[in-house]
Amino acid sequence: MAGRIPESFIHDLLARTDIVEVVGTRVELKRAGREYRGLSPFTHEKTPSFFVSPTKQMFFDFSSGKNGNAIGFLMEFDRLSFVEAVEDLAQRAGVEVPREGGNAPERVLMDGPLDALAAAQRFFRDQLRHNPVAIDYLKQRGINGETAKLFGIGYAPSAWDALTRFVGDTAHAVAAGLLVQKDGGGPAPERAGANRVYDFFRNRIMFPVRDSRGRVITFGGRVLPGDDDPRKYLNGRETPLFHKGRNLYGLYEAKQSAKSALPYLVVVEGYMDVVMLAQHGIREVVATLGTATTADHLNLLFKSTSKVVFCFDGDRAGRSAAWRALEQALPEVYEGRECVFMFLPEGHDPDTLVQEIGADAFRQRIDQAMTLSQFLLGELAKQVNLGSMDGRARLAALAKPHLQKLREGPLRALILDELSRLTRLSRADLDAALARPSSPAETAPATRTGGSERPDPGAARPVKRALQLLLENPALCERVEHVELLMQSDAPGVPLLVEAVDFFHAHPDARAAQLLSFWRDTPKGRALERLLQQEVNVDEATLEREFAETIAHLCQKGLRARVQHLLAEARLRPLTVAETREIESITRELAVKTAS
């Protein structure tokens, strides 16, 4: 019996699919601004009201009310089942549909690109041996030769075609993400030479990333000091072999170092953090590859250990990143699985801290890491006044969507007990509140019908607009740095916006169509469908500026809410020195923003 199709495969398949091409083979489409227009294939209309959006990868049929992604279109037009539609698109893309728990064979990875990657590693390691500047840099960072050999660290020369001239088959190297086709927007011909391709990595310390079998599947490159490239770290391109949302740097090396089960795995942010901790004897370390922690990362981690230690900076950005990790972790902590959170002193990352305090002291900090329940309830409690009934009721409301993500079990029960203590509500009252269905998202947009819009007075305009702009360009999720401030703003619909931001962080290549597929048959999905029907008539530059301004506005609301909470606390108890400084810091920050 065939198993379930993995959700991750569906995301990738939609990313590979151009809905304009799929629909265009069945419906005559004509360009209409940023969209394509045609007669509805589902009704007998004479005036076109059928639209296909290449940016959203969605179709909208206003005569029949149907809309969706490429899978949904095939299901409606060809009358296919969901699985049949997925198989149809997979056949178009030239990939095999995998099954979880079924007897279908695994997809075979391409040996050609793997060979190119193995050859590139040999090339980069040989280049390091002959480059004194790169060797001196590693020595200055404290990396010794044994550690460099353990992780296969190398060097990519500064020439545009050094690796190009070395590899025997440029097609495999291009497929592996090592070389770039010149017509894909690369350097000027006079700089790249006469070749059709050029090196992706140049003048960088190279860190090979391995899969579970130890094969190199991509590289990360750290630019050398003095180079004018503003990108300090450059992660490998996504390919059929490598997906940054599903691979972790150092996992293979960590597993190779263990004679038995790993007691825990520490998740850090940088290549150098993994390498330096390993050099100090802390081998149970991995790094995410330029993206937030995803559900796929957690599944990978929990295959190797029962305890995950998230290690972040202690500043606002670090706590924001930790909160995103917590959101991903909530559905994954069950049956003995554990997640804890370790925050570093100001001005330190794992690399510098372990060199300053040593391995034993660093391991002590791991042992003292904050539990998931402490971090969850502690961050939520900062947003309310526990001295008031309204504040305690607000805490229960804030905790509800997070508790609903947890599976039934001891952890959920213990968190509920602690929440009962903090809110002074009985467990019976809490259980009843959690059992009630959540109210529909307040971000439901106006509905476009024949070019007109029906206003939605209940919608929170700034949040709705931010969502609308994000769905138009999901890469804007990188502009959202302070999720905890958004949550503190208390604006209706913010949790939905944050979930969308987290989704696009976890799936960097996704479009609105993938998010709609992820939320299909839920109230959030239906709210998203209504929002996607609204047109965004702004150019890219205006879109980015408006999104940044809207997020900044919501974050300022969060800052003001935080100050009000601390002032309310001051009426009940003396504030700590840190809290007083926080009020002063926020007040100064708001004054600067107001003045500008």
- The structure's pTM equals 0.61
CB atoms within 10 A of CB 90: 20
Determine the distance from the C-alpha atom of residue 238 to the mean position of all C-alpha atoms in its chain, rounded to a whole number: 14
Report the C-alpha gap between 362 and 342 in whole angstroms. 10
pLDDT at 101 (0 to 100): 57
| Continuous H helices in 287-388 | 295-302, 316-329, 350-367, 372-381
Handedness of CA 441, 330, 253, 105 (dihedral sign): negative
Contact 488, 561 (CB under 8 A): yes
pLDDT at 85 (0 to 100): 87
pLDDT at 497 (0 to 100): 86
What token pair was written down for 267? 């998740």
Residues of the chain with pLDDT under 50: 1-2, 103-111, 184-186, 188-193, 439-460
How long a stretch of residues is the chain?
Answer: 596
User: Domains of the chain, with CATH numbers?
Assistant: 7-93 (3.90.580.10), 111-235 (3.90.980.10), 251-377 (3.40.1360.10), 383-435 (1.20.50), 456-595 (1.10.860.10)
pLDDT at 372 (0 to 100): 95
Report the C-alpha gap between 158 and 101 in whole angstroms. 47
Report the C-alpha gap between 571 and 564 in whole angstroms. 11
What token pair was written down for 1? 């019996």
Q: In what order do the strands lie in the sheet with 204-210?
A: 154-156, 204-210, 216-223, 233-235
As a whole number of angstroms, the longest Cα–Cα distance in the chain is 76
What are the helix and strand counts (H, E) for the chain?
A: 26, 18
From residue 17, alpha-carbon distances to 89, 95, 115, 518 in Å are 7, 12, 28, 16
Report the C-alpha gap between 402 and 404 in whole angstroms. 5
